[in-house]
Amino acid sequence: MPPTRLSPSAPSPPRGTGRLLVGLLVACLLAGCAGRELATRDAPGELSIDRALILAEARRALGTPYRYGGTTERGMDCSGLVQRAYSRAGIRVPRTSRQQFEALPRVDEARPGDLLFFATAGGRKASHVGIYAGDGEMIHAPGRGRRVTRTSLALDYWHERFLGAAAPAP
């Protein structure tokens, strides 16, 4: 049987369509490997007392110098900030960002007071954590020579390194 040929009246696909489809497929596959989507949900009036205490303590820490391994007003690191803020609400969390990421219950959408985990040291392991403050921002201890600050999550830097969110508070 001879191969089927398109008749001259049948429209042919535009030039480069095959390459475009392959490019879209590759982009979709790469996006799936890039990590999770950083999704947040701000619901006014739904803040539990625990979350309010966590956020109040995180706000109180704003301006505190970064200090590796620190958990006091003299200096704190990212996971020390989390430990301090959560202890204010009577919630115990592991010490390091990696331990927190591995142990705490994950959520698909972060609410104010939830934890956001990032792979900032390369690889796919949690090396940084922040507390979602609402309005697309987090409070975190960014690193040596800096201070606890409030940062926009709209930056590509955070989206590219986002690993997931956890909700240890009710």
- In terms of Cα–Cα distance, which of 163, 142, 8 is closest to 62? 142
| Known active-site residue 78 | yes
Residue 93 has which token pair? 């969390």
Per the CB < 8 A criterion, the answer to whether 85 and 131 are in contact is: yes
- In terms of Cα–Cα distance, which of 54, 51, 44 is closest to 135? 44
Q: Could you say which of 28, 33, 78, 159 is catalytic?
A: 78
Residue type at position 85:
A
Q: Could you say which of 28, 33, 128, 159 is catalytic?
A: 128
- Catalytically annotated residues: 78, 128, 140
